């Protein structure tokens, strides 16, 4: 066969939709609903990705003039991300309620017959939007606890520990757009091909490399951190580890997953006494990914996914990354 024809007809790869179909029998309750929900997330990610790429041209890289529940100034894209995902999930019909960083109350979708609950950070790392540094979306999916057909509640449906997640993942809006997720059977990464409008499987069965020597933490808080953290950071320097900190959790986590490494956001007295990152829609989803990729995630001396949430927007200290590096850090912290 002519080489040109061979090259032009080479297989492009496995699409996200095809992968979801192929792996559907992995889902304990396989009825297609979770598959449809993952597709809805893929669609919302494509749309938000377009808005992010055009933000500078559309003049939507700035402030929204409103605050979220944490009193943080919302960026326009924070609000756009929230609206885009909530609309896609409402229309998709698979989610009965949504916990979102950008809304204080539980979002009731009106889909009372839906079986799933989603906790999400529509746009993580938003302090990096106008400086064109990678940002992301984080999501964790749970089965509802209340009766299908009834109105979901915060106490039963939203405040579930991370080990109840049936799926979790993130979208990374970086030099390329990637969707990385797990349903409890390993971690797969998909890269978006804008010329075809499809996510293609580019990183099958992702695992943390055994070895890693990159540590990621906001060291400007060094003197505020507990002595144990200071000692661990001194150790990282003595060991010749490399420091990297993008300041958007999804990006720092993704780098650790690819190259090996550890990310920490400890309790920071005077700034974030409980830690900065939110348990339900930042820590739990990436903890599920981390464990499925051979890594670990701890907070307050406890496995992150065993923490029983008290509040939808509660913050927790976090140590997450390669198993060897997290164990080493826990050795200092414990």
Q: Report the site for ligand FBP in 211-240 (rule: CB under 6 A).
A: 218
CA distance 171 to 191: 10
Q: Report the site for ligand FBP in 269-328 (rule: CB under 6 A).
A: 276
Minimum distance, C-beta of residue 316 to ligand FBP, in the bound complex (Å): 13
CA distance 179 to 19: 12
Q: Could you give the residue ranges of the DSSP H alpha helices within the chain?
A: 3-8, 16-22, 33-58, 76-92, 227-238, 249-259, 284-292, 323-333
Residues 6+ away with beta carbon under 8 Å from 144: 96, 97, 114, 115, 116, 117, 152, 156, 157
Interaction pattern, residues 65-94, with ligand FBP; x per rule: CB under 6 A: -------x----------------------
What SS3 class is residue 54?
A: helix
CA distance 294 to 117: 26
Work out whether 247 is an interface residue with ligand FBP (CB under 6 A). Answer: yes
Work out whether 127 is an interface residue with ligand FBP (CB under 6 A). Answer: yes
Minimum distance, C-beta of residue 140 to ligand FBP, in the bound complex (Å): 14
What SS3 class is residue 290?
A: helix
Work out whether 124 is an interface residue with ligand FBP (CB under 6 A). Answer: yes
What the block records as the tokens of 115 is 């079986």
* Smaller CB separation from ligand FBP, 152 or 321: 321
Q: How many CB atoms lie within 10 A of CB 272?
A: 17
| Binder of ligand FBP out of 116, 232, 249, 288 (CB under 6 A) | 249
Tokens 């669609």 -> residue:
43
With contacts defined by CB under 6 A, name the span among 193-201, 245-253, 287-295, 301-309 that binds ligand FBP. 245-253
Rounded to the nearest 5°, which phi and psi values hold at 52?
A: -65, -45
Minimum distance, C-beta of residue 56 to ligand FBP, in the bound complex (Å): 19
User: Directed axis angle between helix 76-92 and helix 33-58, to 10°?
Assistant: 150
What SS3 class is residue 161?
A: coil
Work out whether 192 is an interface residue with ligand FBP (CB under 6 A). Answer: no
Work out whether 157 is an interface residue with ligand FBP (CB under 6 A). Answer: no
* Smaller CB separation from ligand FBP, 175 or 220: 220
| Binder of ligand FBP out of 126, 177, 183, 188 (CB under 6 A) | 126
Minimum distance, C-beta of residue 329 to ligand FBP, in the bound complex (Å): 17
Minimum distance, C-beta of residue 112 to ligand FBP, in the bound complex (Å): 29
With contacts defined by CB under 6 A, name the span among 106-114, 154-162, 248-256, 323-331 that binds ligand FBP. 248-256
# residues contacting ligand FBP (CB under 6 A): 13
Q: Which residues bind ligand FBP (CB under 6 A)?
A: 72, 101, 121, 124-127, 218, 247-249, 252, 276
């Amino acid at each position: 066969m002519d080489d040109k024809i061979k090259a032009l007809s080479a297989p492009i790869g496995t699409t996200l939709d095809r992968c979801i179909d192929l792996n559907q029998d992995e889902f304990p309750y396989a009825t297609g609903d979770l598959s449809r929900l993952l597709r809805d997330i893929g669609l919302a990610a494509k749309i938000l990705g377009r808005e992010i790429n055009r933000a500078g041209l559309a003049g939507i890289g700035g402030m929204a003039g409103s605050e979220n529940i944490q009193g943080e100034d919302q960026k326009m894209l924070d609000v756009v991300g929230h609206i885009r995902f909530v609309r896609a999930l409402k229309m998709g019909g698979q989610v009965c309620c949504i916990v979102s960083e950008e809304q204080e109350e539980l979002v009731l979708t009106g889909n009372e017959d839906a079986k799933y609950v989603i906790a999400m950070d529509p746009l993580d790392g938003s302090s990096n939007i106008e400086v064109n540094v990678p940002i992301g979306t984080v999501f964790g999916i749970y089965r509802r606890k209340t009766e299908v057909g009834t109105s979901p509640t915060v106490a039963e449906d939203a405040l579930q520990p991370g080990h109840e997640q049936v799926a979790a993942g993130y979208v990374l809006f970086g030099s390329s757009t990637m969707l990385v997720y797990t349903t409890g059977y390993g971690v797969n990464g998909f890269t978006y091909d804008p010329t075809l409008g499809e996510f293609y499987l580019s990183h099958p069965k992702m695992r943390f490399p055994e070895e890693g020597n990159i540590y990621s933490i906001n060291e400007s808080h060094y003197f505020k951190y507990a002595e144990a953290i200071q000692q661990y950071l001194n150790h990282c320097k003595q060991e010749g580890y490399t420091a990297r900190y993008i300041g958007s959790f999804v990006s720092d986590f993704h780098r650790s997953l690819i190259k090996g490494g550890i990310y920490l956001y400890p309790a920071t007295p005077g700034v974030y006494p409980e830690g900065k990152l939110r348990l339900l829609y930042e820590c739990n989803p990436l903890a599920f990914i981390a464990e499925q990729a051979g890594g670990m995630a701890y907070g307050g001396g406890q496995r992150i996914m065993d923490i029983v949430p008290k509040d939808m927007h509660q913050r927790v200290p976090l140590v997450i990354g390669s198993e060897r590096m997290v164990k080493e850090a826990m050795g200092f912290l414990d």
